[in-house]
Amino acid sequence: MSKARDVVVAVAPSREIAEMWAGLLDEASIAYRLTPAQVGDTGLVPSLASWELRVDAIDASRALELLPSASDADELEDDEGGDEDEDDAYDPDLDAPPAAGGGGGIRWLIIAVAVAVALIIVFVGTRSAG
């Protein structure tokens, strides 16, 4: 797929949901690409990142027909919500991934630890080889 002509057809709150939606596109033989939605999002802390589902511009309308829309999710929620208390109702704002910059401290801590471990391995490897 050409990166220059791909368009975002959906943004998933987690990698798992993005992969589930990608499966729908895969069944329809639509090529797709998953990318982190925010600058700086990586696979190191996938639960903190939202993911864009991108397809070639020519396949965008077909992809949008296959993927669930926000109105479909609202209808499903209305059908299931019969005896629920108002306090127990699903609130997408509470379950949404953190905004850009949220959880960034944890992400950088993990990166720093990974770099430190890599440097230690390189240092020990060069001392034992020399």
Q: Of 47, 22, 69, nearest to 77 (Cα)?
A: 69
**Would you state the pLDDT for residue 6?**
85
Alpha-carbon distance values, 16 to 3, 9, 24, 41, 43 (Å): 22, 16, 13, 15, 12
Pair of tokens at residue 46: 């996938």
Query: Would the pLDDT of 115 be above 80?
Result: yes
**Would you state the pLDDT for residue 130?**
62
Where do the structural domains in the chain lie, given as residue ranges?
3-100
* More confident site: 108 or 44: 108
**CATH number belonging to domain 3-100:** 3.30.70
pLDDT digits (tens, 9 = 90+) for 31-72: 999 888 776 655 565 556 788 889 999 999 899 888 886 555
CB contact at 8 A, 53 and 21: yes
Rounded-to-integer distance, Cα 14 and Cα 2, Å: 24
Rounded-to-integer distance, Cα 65 and Cα 97, Å: 25
